[in-house]
Amino acid sequence: MRRWLPRTRGGRVAAGVAAFLVALNVLALVVSYLRPQPGGTDGSAYATQPQGAAGYAELLRRAGHPVDFLREPLDAGRLDPATTIVVLDSPRLARAERAALARFVRAGGRLVAAGAEAGRGIVARPPRWVGAG
């Protein structure tokens, strides 16, 4: 019969530490599966953290509104003025993206924008951002 345990004390300690680390990783994987933590970028419709918009997107979907996600720059394609675009806490939009949103709004599209940069460079007089609730 072959013996699989290390023969030296140092080898047994190393094997014990390795087994402990493997067990710890398995436990962390089980915990993250059973109780996932919120995450994602602020304002993202994929983000489940408190500053994310996944809950808002799901609320709209459950209320019967079709929800699509733009995965390319706003100036990459035609924005349909029969729709509503929601831009929340976006990082600084490129000049071309702001111009595309301005054309979208002038053509009759509805824009819901929130955050420190909301509306800037898109409409003539955007609301002013006030950080206090």
Distance CA 51, CA 45 (A): 10
Where does the pLDDT of residue 89 fall: very low under 50, low under 70, confident under 90, or very high at 90 and above?
Answer: confident
Give residues with Cβ within 8 angstroms of 92, minimum separation 6.
117
> What is the predicted pLDDT for the residue at 25?
93
Measure Cα distances from 94 to 16, 25, 78 in Å.
54, 42, 16
Distance CA 19, CA 36 (A): 25
Q: Where are the beta strands (DSSP E) in the chain?
A: 84-88, 110-114
- Phi/psi region, residue 119 (left: phi>0; alpha: psi -120 to 50; beta: rest), is left
> What is the predicted pLDDT for the residue at 43?
62
What's the mean pLDDT when you consider all of the chain? Answer: 81
> What is the predicted pLDDT for the residue at 87?
85
Q: Is the pTM of this model over 0.75?
A: no
